[in-house]
Amino acid sequence: MSSSSPYDLIVIGSGPAGQKAAIQGAKSGKRVALIEQNREVGGACVYQGTIPSKTLRESALQMVQFLQATDVFEFRMRDDVKIASLMTRLNKVIRAHGAFMTEQVARNGIERFHGRAKFVSDREIQVKGLDGTTTTIAGNSIVIATGSRPRVPDNIPIDHEHILDSDSILS
């Protein structure tokens, strides 16, 4: 299936850079398409990187403060409750950020495509949707904002069991 008229701007990737590019284009009166390979907008920042790591860090710090304060009363929290509380908080924050970003994209009239993007020409992108359908869209300008990968130092083997990176720690 092909989209009829070309978009003014196609943005590939819905992380912080892609989302800002798409919103700026929409605010400038452009017809914008946003392509994200996952089901939700936000990219690794929301689901694997910045938001989860900062949320876990802050939640752990708050939990330590709570536990130090409760030592006075000889109160103890079971270890499984500690982890469950951290994960509950993490999931709540991730859902809130994801919902905010989705609403922001919708509010600005940006058309979303969920699937893998592939250039078929210098102005056409084929999107293989998550449901298996294929759509080809054209655009006058295309921004590639597909994010980054975790850096793996040469001298440290990331085995995803004992040594984790930001992509594997929450999986």
Res. 3: pLDDT tops 60: no
The secondary structure of residue 131, as a DSSP letter, is T
Cβ atoms within 10 Å, residue 103:
11
pLDDT of residue 79: 67
Residue partners of 45: CB distance under 8 A and separation at least 6: 15, 16, 51, 147
Res. 76: pLDDT tops 90: no
Res. 2: pLDDT tops 60: no
What pTM was estimated for this model as a whole?
0.77
Q: Which H or E element spans position 144?
A: strand 134-144
Interval 35-52 mean pLDDT: 82
Q: pLDDT tens across 127-149, in order?
A: 999 999 999 999 999 999 998 77
Average pLDDT taken over every residue of the chain: 87
Percentage above 90 pLDDT, the chain: 46
Interval 84-111 mean pLDDT: 90
